[in-house]
Amino acid sequence: MPSNATAGGIGARVRRSRRAKNLSAAELGAMVGAPESWIAKVEHNQVGLDKYSVVDKLADVLDIDVPWLLGQPYQPGEPARNAGHTMVPALRTALRRTGLILSGHPSIRAVAAPQRLASLRVDVDRVVRGRQAARLPEVMLVLPDLVEALNTRALDTAGTAESEVVHRLIVETGQVARMALNKLGYHDLAWTAVENAATAAARLGDPLMRACSAWDRCGVLLHTGSLPLVFTVAEAAMDDLSDQLNFPNPEAFSLYGALGLRCAVAAARRGDAASAWQYLSEADRMASRIGFDRNDFQTVFGPGNVAIHAAEIAVELDQPEVALRRHAGVDLASVPSRERHTRHRIDIARAYAQLGDDATAVATLRMAADVAPHYVYNHPLARGLVANLLCRAQPSALDAGLSGIERAMGLNG
Q: List, for residues 274-325, the tens digit of each pLDDT value.
A: 999 999 999 999 999 999 999 999 999 999 999 999 999 999 999 999 999 9
Give residue 150's identity as a one-letter amino acid code: L
Distances (CA, A) of 223 to 25, 52, 63, 276: 26, 9, 16, 17
Question: How far from the centroid of its chain's Cα atoms is residue 275's Cα?
Answer: 21
Sign for the pseudo-dihedral over CA of 198, 270, 319, 73: positive
Helices 380-392 and 358-371, interaxial angle, to 10°? Answer: 150
CA distance 107 to 388: 53
Looking at the structure, give the CATH architecture of the domain made up of residues 9-70. Answer: Orthogonal Bundle (1.10)
Count Cα atoms within 13 angstroms, Cβ side, for 82: 14
Query: Under a CB-based contact definition with an 8 Å cutoff, are residues 66 and 59 in contact?
Result: yes
Q: Is the separation of the CB atoms in 230 and 218 below 8 Å?
A: yes
User: 370, exposed or middle or buried, with CB in 10 Å at 0-12, 13-18, 19+?
Assistant: exposed
Residue 311 makes CB contacts below 8 A (sequence gap 6+) with: 322, 323, 324, 326, 327, 330, 344, 347, 348, 351
DSSP 38-50: HHHHHHTTSS---
What is the distance between the alpha carbons of residues 372 and 341, in angstroms, rounded to a whole number? 9
| pLDDT computed for residue 412 by the predictor | 73
The predicted-structure confidence for 101-116, as pLDDT tens digits, reads as follows: 999 998 899 998 899 9
Give span(s): CATH 1.10.260.40, the chain: 9-70
Spatial neighbors of 223 by CB under 8 A, at least 6 apart, are: 66, 67, 182, 187, 190
* Among the listed residues 121, 122, 143, the one whose alpha carbon sits nearest the alpha carbon of residue 131: 143
For residue 386, count other CB atoms closer than 10 A to its CB: 28
Residue pLDDT tens, the chain, 413 long: 333 344 468 999 999 999 999 999 999 999 999 999 999 999 998 998 999 999 999 999 999 999 999 999 987 665 555 678 999 999 999 999 999 999 999 889 999 889 999 999 999 999 999 999 999 999 999 999 999 999 999 999 998 999 999 999 999 999 999 999 999 999 999 999 999 999 999 999 999 999 999 999 999 999 999 999 999 999 999 999 999 999 999 999 999 999 999 999 999 999 999 999 999 999 999 999 999 999 999 999 999 999 999 999 999 999 999 999 999 999 999 999 999 999 999 999 999 999 999 999 999 999 999 999 989 999 999 999 999 999 999 999 999 999 999 998 888 75
- Calculate the CA dihedral of residues 111, 112, 114, 120 and round it to 10 degrees: -130
Residue 219: CB atoms within 10 Å = 20
Which DSSP string do the residues of 283-306 spell out, in sequence order? HHHHHHHH-S---GGG---SHHHH
**The pLDDT value given to residue 83:** 73
Which of 305, 252, 310 is CA-nearest to residue 281?
Answer: 310
